[in-house]
Structure 1
Amino acid sequence: MSKHITVTTAADILAFFPHTLGFDPRESFGFITLNGTRIGASLRMDIPDESVSPSDFAQMIAHRLLPDTNADGALFLVYTNEPAADPFDFDAKPYKDYAQAFEIELERAGIPIRDGWLITDHGWTTYFCEDADCCTMNPLSDIKDSVLSAHMVFSGSAKRTERAENPVFIGGEDTGRRIHEAAARFEVRNPVDFTEPAMCEARAAWYEAVGTQPDEAATIQLVSYLQVKALRDRIMADMINPAEDEGIYRAVFMGQHPERPDWSRVDACEVLLVQLLAYTPAADRAPLFSALGWLAWYKGQGSLAAAYLAKAMESEPGYRLAELLDEMLRTGLLAKTSTNPSTAYKRGTHS
């Protein structure tokens, strides 16, 4: 059973946001939607360069937040070490042109900004303030020592030191050849006939592997299935929902099925994929990176999803699944589960 997280202070909010991403943001804008006093979706975007106009960027942000149809407000976060000309003057705060554009566009979208904060390596402060009493720079230890931070760490949430896992290859010289030879024996005539022998074999093998520590032989078997498009897509969908219904399968793959996944199993699938990376040659990692990016997208961790998809396209330039998922991510499409607090992933709080 999921447990609700209670956020009572600004430090709690600033502790919560990095845990939803899985890493500490750098030079980023952050947004958290609100439904009354309930926290909704989180979004992080790199601070753009000067060639991007604040109004255009703000319109894109509003478009990405609109799929959270329950949202009636938002919180704004700026992570930067860009110096402020005067920390007590809003007009002198870093990226104030963008902040003003966000206020206009989100108000227009019905998601007005209720509060905001500036977070640097030297401390944090309220963003929308104009006097010394509220603009005082607070120590980062306030965030680390907040009640919510302690709760999330105690519950098992841990931020990554890197945005995406990419372990050193420890397999044999012939591992890649063996993976492709194993994949060559599979034939799938109908990608939505889940009773085909290859489909049944692949799904059963992956189901049994979750929660185990695969060796090189097991990796070759499991990764070989991912080299076959139909098997790869079915295996990925199974990580969220193993329903046999074709309509549900397609909806799950596109993130449009509204039912809450078994998030504990999703986490276990993510762990398995990372373990398999270690025994998978760099040139064959695109399917694994794509699956990891897709799961991160399902969890509402857009930045992590983008990082994994970038690694997939680096591993195999032109890898179509990674390109399609990356395009979907760039359009701002959210998985339906991430827009509903009762079905969304909550790091460290799911059963």
Structure 2
Amino acid sequence: MTSPDLPLLSVRSPADLLAAVPYLLGFHPTDSVVVVALRGKRVVFVARADLAGTESRPEANGPTTVDQTTVDQTTVDPPPGADEIAAYIAEIVARQQVESTVAIGYGPAEQVTPAVDATRAALELAGLRVLDALRVTDGRYWSYLCVDPGCCPMEGKAYDPTSSQVAAEATFAGKVALPDRAALTSQVAPLGGPVRESMRRATRRAEERAVRLLDSAPSADLLGGRALRSAGASAIRTAMDRHRQGGRLTDDEVAWLSVLLTHVPVRDHAWERTDGFEWQQALWTEVTRRVEPGLVAAPASLLAFAAWRAGHGALAAVAVERALRDQPDYSLALLLDEMLRNGVQPSTLDGWPKVGSGRRRGRTTRRRSRGDTRGRARRRTNTRPGALA
């Protein structure tokens, strides 16, 4: 999906590029190595990984536009070690059919330098030109390639990403750069306090309602499958209509939807109707945060898919993580995790979903159920990081 209102950010210097990176990723990177990849003068991919020895995972983001540049993000899980991380990122970036790159390291020199050196070498080995290699430490940046003291002094150059023209343009365009990745993770974290207790009671009511639904299903409806699908379609339609109009679901509506989404055909019905629209991201974020443990995987996976379709790779990553913490073997989450780790671009699904393409509105073209992907997703995640299945 390509958003019709992507911001154009004018990048004319290393300082401008550094100011743009947080808006491309969605948060300010720390203790990270970032690769900005270009096709001609257009940024088409941005990838981030933690420095060797740190705990969180690498990401990439898009689509977003920087000086007429479309950006795609993905999230990857490299093995530990600077060389391994560098090789993995270079492999992912090279798949995007880019021509040149800028490598940026964030953190203390003793950790950044080996990471950036390894990344430069891996990118060049992959046939990618490295336009610049930068280190950002304590509000200053240095270039590993520029030796002109008039341009790149030994003490580095001070810059403030929050006060630049690029930051102002991005903010005006509605782009957000959170303080760090933890702030992004908190956006999909479960709500607590009175909300949690209210949702606990609502979920008990929803489970009892589901039992009554199945008990009342006719004998010809094997295991109540048709009844569940009909109820699920109605709940999904209500939720989407409500959020499309800027509304919010009640606790009982969230709980009922979360119980129905455990039925794979219902989950698939929602998946087929999920793209990258902001209201859909808001819907699945709300449901993900409010549902009870054990019911998180489906809405979190749908949030991950919506975020990935919109090019918000980092948000997709934390949503997948939330889904897999709830259910480590959840097939859709595993499939999305693999797509993110392999740098699959959202544009590969342009034109999808094809809701309304069948004989009646709401029907999709016939294809294998997502429920059939469980085995494939499990097998693919056993391949080495970055390998295409």
Whether TM exceeds 0.5 here: the answer is yes
Give the Cα–Cα distance (whole angstroms) in 2 for the partners of residues 323 and 285 of structure 1.
14
Q: How does 1:37-48 map to 2 (within 5 A)?
A: 37-48=41-52
Cα distance, 1:287 vs. partner?
1.9
Give the Cα–Cα distance (whole angstroms) in 1 for the partners of residues 278 and 268 of structure 2.
18
Structure 1 residue identity aligned to 2:254: T
Paired residue for 2:74? none
Aligned equivalent of 1:138, options 157, 177, 182: 157
Paired residue for 1:111? 128
Aligned equivalent of 1:19, options 4, 23, 42: 23
Q: How does 1:309-348 map to 2 (within 5 A)?
A: 309-336=320-347
Deviation sequence 1:125-161 (CA, Å, 0-9, x none):
33434464404433342x2111111011112222234
* Structure 2 residue 11 is matched with structure 1 residue 7: yes
Give the Cα–Cα distance (whole angstroms) in 2 for the partners of residues 315 and 200 of structure 1.
24
Give the Cα–Cα distance (whole angstroms) in 2 for the partners of residues 239 and 40 of structure 1.
24
Paired residue for 1:49? 53
Give the Cα–Cα distance (whole angstroms) in 1 for the partners of residues 318 and 289 of structure 2.
18
Cα distance, 1:39 vs. partner?
1.3
Paired residue for 2:100? 73
Does the 8 Å CA contact 2:19/2:164 hold for their aligned counterparts? yes
Give the Cα–Cα distance (whole angstroms) in 2 for the partners of residues 229 and 156 of structure 1.
35
Give the Cα–Cα distance (whole angstroms) in 2 for the partners of residues 338 and 75 of structure 1.
28
* Structure 2 residue 58 is matched with structure 1 residue 31: no
Deviation sequence 1:174-204 (CA, Å, 0-9, x none):
2332344455648998xxx9xx635642442
Cα distance, 1:44 vs. partner?
0.9
CA RMSD across the alignment: 3.0
Deviation sequence 1:250-299 (CA, Å, 0-9, x none):
xxxxxxxxxxxxx5xx2111112222344322332222222222333334
Does the 8 Å CA contact 1:42/1:300 hold for their aligned counterparts? no
Does the 8 Å CA contact 2:33/2:115 hold for their aligned counterparts? no
Give the Cα–Cα distance (whole angstroms) in 1 for the partners of residues 342 and 241 of structure 2.
35
Cα distance, 1:307 vs. partner?
2.2
Give the TM-score, by structure 1 length: 0.73
Does the 8 Å CA contact 2:52/2:82 hold for their aligned counterparts? no
Give the Cα–Cα distance (whole angstroms) in 2 for the partners of residues 168 and 197 of structure 1.
29
Structure 2 residue identity aligned to 1:147: Q
Paired residue for 1:163? 184
* Structure 2 residue 169 is matched with structure 1 residue 151: yes
Does the 8 Å CA contact 2:9/2:20 hold for their aligned counterparts? no
Deviation sequence 1:319-347 (CA, Å, 0-9, x none):
332233223323333333599xxxxxxxx
Give the Cα–Cα distance (whole angstroms) in 2 for the partners of residues 20 and 270 of structure 1.
18
Give the Cα–Cα distance (whole angstroms) in 2 for the partners of residues 167 and 199 of structure 1.
23
Q: How does 1:178-197 map to 2 (within 5 A)?
A: 178-182=205-209, 185=213, 197=230
Give the Cα–Cα distance (whole angstroms) in 2 for the partners of residues 296 and 127 of structure 1.
34
Does the 8 Å CA contact 1:18/1:25 hold for their aligned counterparts? yes
Q: How does 1:206-217 map to 2 (within 5 A)?
A: 206-210=239-243, 211-217=246-252
Q: For 2:239, what is the secondary structure of its paired residue?
A: helix
Aligned equivalent of 2:87, options 27, 38, 59: 59
The gaps in structure 2 that reach 5 residues or longer are 55-78, 351-389
Give the TM-score, by structure 2 length: 0.67
* Structure 2 residue 238 is matched with structure 1 residue 238: no
Give the Cα–Cα distance (whole angstroms) in 2 for the partners of residues 306 and 35 of structure 1.
25
Paired residue for 1:201? 234
Give the Cα–Cα distance (whole angstroms) in 2 for the partners of residues 213 and 198 of structure 1.
19
Q: 1:144 to 1:127 in 2, by over 3 A?
A: farther
Q: For 1:26, what is the secondary structure of its paired residue?
A: coil
Aligned-residue sequence identity (percent) comes to 24
Q: 1:62 to 1:183 in 2, by over 3 A?
A: farther
Does the 8 Å CA contact 1:59/1:105 hold for their aligned counterparts? yes
